[in-house]
Amino acid sequence: MSTYPSGQHFSVDVSLATVYGLNAAFLIHLLQKLLRFERDFRGYGSEDSRTWIRITYDELASHLSFLSYDQVRYAIDKLVDEGVLLRENRNSNKADKVLSYAFSEEAHFLPVISYNGGK
């Protein structure tokens, strides 16, 4: 079987991979990308000064096709237990069980980047 480049690239912070594991570091990188898009480009904020994303384990696993559903679930649970991520049901419809995630220290994991070239 031949494998050809897909054009998709993921990078991880070595210190995060050392502390939390490689799968968790991949998830941190992905969540940084998704949350930055929510905050900076869609303008979604929150009353608690955090940027939240509503997403399922299946959706996260679809972004990281090299991880299984169980690997994603385990890594998310670990990041919540370690205090890196917050997890809440923020839905007005209590029957909706899709959870939302935010970084507990947003300024550390999701710093504001200036897009105006420093002007």
CATH number of the domain that residue 36 is part of:
1.10.10
2-51: pLDDT as tens digits? 566 666 777 888 999 999 999 999 999 999 999 988 887 766 656 677 88
Q: Please give the sequence-ordered ranges of beta strands (E in DSSP) within 30-114, or none if there are none.
A: 53-54, 85-88, 100-103
Has this prediction a pTM greater than 0.75? yes
**How far is the C-alpha of 29 from the C-alpha of 12, rounded, in Å?**
6
- Asked, for residue 34, whether it belongs to a domain, the answer is yes
Number of domains in the chain: 1
- The gap from C-alpha 42 to its chain's centroid, in whole angstroms, comes to 16
Q: Are 108 and 119 in contact (CB under 8 A)?
A: no
- Asked, for residue 71, whether it belongs to a domain, the answer is yes
- Asked, for residue 2, whether it belongs to a domain, the answer is no
**How far is the C-alpha of 29 from the C-alpha of 13, rounded, in Å?**
8
- Asked, for residue 119, whether it belongs to a domain, the answer is no
Residue type, 24: A
